[in-house]
Structure formats: structure tokens, C-alpha cells
Amino acid sequence: MSDNSYTPVRITTIKAERQVPFPVYIFFKDQYLEYVQQGKAIEKEKYKKLRRQKITKFFILGKDEGLYQKFLDSFLEETLNSPDASLDDKAEAVTGQSETAIERLQIDPGNQTNFDMTRKAAKNLQKLIFENPESLKRIFGQDSESGPIVQHCINVAAMSVKFALKNKVTEEELDWLSTAALMHDIGVMQMEKESQDLFYKPKNDFEGHEKIKYFEHCKGVVQILAEKPYINAQVIELIENHEENLQGSGPHKKSKLSKVQEILSMVNSYDKKIITKKIPPETAIKEMMIDELGNYNLALLTNFKSFLKEEKVI
Ligand SMILES: [Fe+2]
Ligand SMILES: [Fe+2]
């Protein structure tokens, strides 16, 4: 990223009435316009107007990336720890950071700043989900301004970490899982439009060649990530194996999965069912108990169903 390039950031990560230590731009009529001066804050009314106009992105200069990340870290820390912030404020801040991180990974999956941002977003998502009982349902029911694939990644991350926590996995595993879940389908976002459309097709309706094409999203991007020394091997393995199942019919035909790998794959299948078949969460879990029997341990599926009830998702 060159210093004079413009980098997109979600407007939900630049809060109103909060001083920004860098200039903020909007893209309007083919050009970047300075919208907030360095050291100034956006007025609440102006911010609301932008939201109403469905403006979702601001831009910052590449050279201000470090300042932006620091700004975002303190914004998230304050919001998540503030007794005055509503659940919506908290969820919006965490979602904005996750969306920005995932969208950047889509453009440049091997970039360390993007990976670090994703890891921080995954940590904040955990904090939100673990400390606010209603937050999972809140996140799970939303529509991301970044589109259904990004929303799917956030859904899977939120749901899989909370379910994994109940299944007594280690803190380290929760970190790997939440990071990998946010990243797991960046391979889909990198495919050309026609292949990307396969994301919306139920997997049982795939023709042979479509299945092969779709499974590529678990390969190419993994090779890019695997070369990076700052990405933990467990995170890479989770991404690589997120479409695998115990019957070995996934892209790599793997049939032995670790507990967290099985959880990620199962939660991914569950959320995909809701998206691709446009069915409610209750119907999706009923179908899972039939269609995915054998793909996952029965005990895990049953626990997952109880978990969804406890969380009032179904
Ligand atoms: Fe996938
Ligand atoms: Fe997925």
C-alpha cells in the first residue's frame, strides 16, 4: 500500500463526535474529498445523514494506517467496556471492525496489517459475545452492509466461538477459531463472479464441475496464507479444512478433524443452509440433523441444537 493511496474504512469505525487524528475522505463524483479535517470530529447530524444516504465507506490515506488502527483500538476498548454504551453501539463497533478487516483481506489476503486487524477484530468479537448474553442473536440476525459473504463470516465466527466455549476448548483455540472463522471464505470473495454465485447455491444441488470449482476457495488462498510467518499454522489449517466432514467428502477428503475444526465446519454448514435455502434457523437445524448426520458427531449436532435453543436463535 503506498502512502498516498486511499484505503477504505467502514464509516461505523469512525464514530461521530470523536476527534480523528487523521483526515477522513469520502469518494464523491469520481474524486476523493476531504470530509473531516485532521483533529476534528464529525457532527452527529452529519453522520446520521450519511447513514441515511447509505454511505458505508470513508477513506483514509495509506500513511495514516497506524493512526487509524490506534484510533480504532481505543474506540473499541472504550465502547466494549463502557456501561453507557448500548448493545447496538457495541455490536456496531465490533461489526465495523470485522467488516473492514475482512474486506481488506479480500483485496490483499497476505498483508500483515490486514491479518493483525482481523485478529484484533476476532478478539473484540469474542469479548462482545462472551460478555453480552444477547449479542449472538443480535449479530446473527443482522444484514451486513458489506454483503452476505462478509455477514456469513461474522455469523460463523460469533456462533462458533460461543459454541466452542461451551465445549470446553482452550483460550488459544478460541483465538485461532475466531480469527479463522472471520477469514474462512475470503477465498470465495476472490473467485470470479460466476464462481462466486455458487456461494448461494445449496450444496446438494451442485453439479460435479460446480462442486470442484467451488471447493477451490479452500485451496488458492491457503497457499498465500501458508507462506506468511505471522499466521499461525492452526489458523491456516482451520481455514483449509472448513468444508471437510467426518465422511471425507470435502475438498481435501479429510475425515479426521480436531474438535475446533469440526465445530467450524458444522457451524459453517448451518449458516450456509440458512443463506442458500433461505430457510429460518429452526428449519435449518432440523435439516442439519438429517442431512449432516454422519458428517458430524451426533453428540455435537445434538449439543448444537440445545445451544441454539439456549441462545434463543431457534
Ligand atoms: Fe467455504
Ligand atoms: Fe463459509
d(C-alpha 56, C-alpha 145), whole Å = 7
**What is the 105 CA–ligand 1 centroid distance (Å)?**
15
**What is the 235 CA–ligand 2 centroid distance (Å)?**
15
Domain around 230 = 148-310
Ligand nearest to the CA of residue 191, numbered in listed order: 1
Determine the distance from the C-alpha atom of residue 36 to the mean position of all C-alpha atoms in its chain, rounded to a whole number.
28
Judge residue 295's burial from the number of C-beta atoms within 10 Å of its C-beta, 0-12 exposed, 13-18 middle, 19 or more buried: buried
pLDDT of 87 above 60: yes
Domain-embedded: residue 7: yes
Determine the distance from the C-alpha atom of residue 10 to the mean position of all C-alpha atoms in its chain, rounded to a whole number.
14
Give the model's pLDDT for residue 2. Answer: 55
**What is the 107 CA–ligand 1 centroid distance (Å)?**
17
Q: What is the mean pLDDT of residues 177-202?
A: 96
Q: What is the mean pLDDT of residues 65-87?
A: 97
Q: Are 59 and 158 found together in one domain?
A: no
Q: Are 185 and 304 found together in one domain?
A: yes
Q: What is the mean pLDDT of residues 267-279?
A: 96
Domain-embedded: residue 114: no
Of 25-34, 235-244, 259-268, the least confident: 25-34
d(C-alpha 202, C-alpha 287), whole Å = 12
Strand bridging mode 6-10 / 57-61: antiparallel
Determine the distance from the C-alpha atom of residue 254 to the mean position of all C-alpha atoms in its chain, rounded to a whole number.
24
Give the model's pLDDT for residue 313. Answer: 95
Domain total in the chain: 2
**What is the 96 CA–ligand 2 centroid distance (Å)?**
19
Q: How far apart are the first and last CA of the chain?
A: 44
**What is the 201 CA–ligand 2 centroid distance (Å)?**
12
Domain-embedded: residue 52: yes
Domain-embedded: residue 267: yes
Q: Are 162 and 296 found together in one domain?
A: yes
Ligand nearest to the CA of residue 151, numbered in listed order: 2
Ligand nearest to the CA of residue 152, numbered in listed order: 2
Give the model's pLDDT for residue 36. Answer: 95
Give the model's pLDDT for residue 3. Answer: 65
Domain-embedded: residue 115: no
Ligand nearest to the CA of residue 159, numbered in listed order: 2
Give the pLDDT band (50/70/90) at residue 291.
very high
pLDDT of 84 above 60: yes
pLDDT of 54 above 90: no
- Percent of the chain's residues with pLDDT above 90: 93
Beta bridge partners of 33: 26
Q: What is the mean pLDDT of residues 4-19?
A: 92
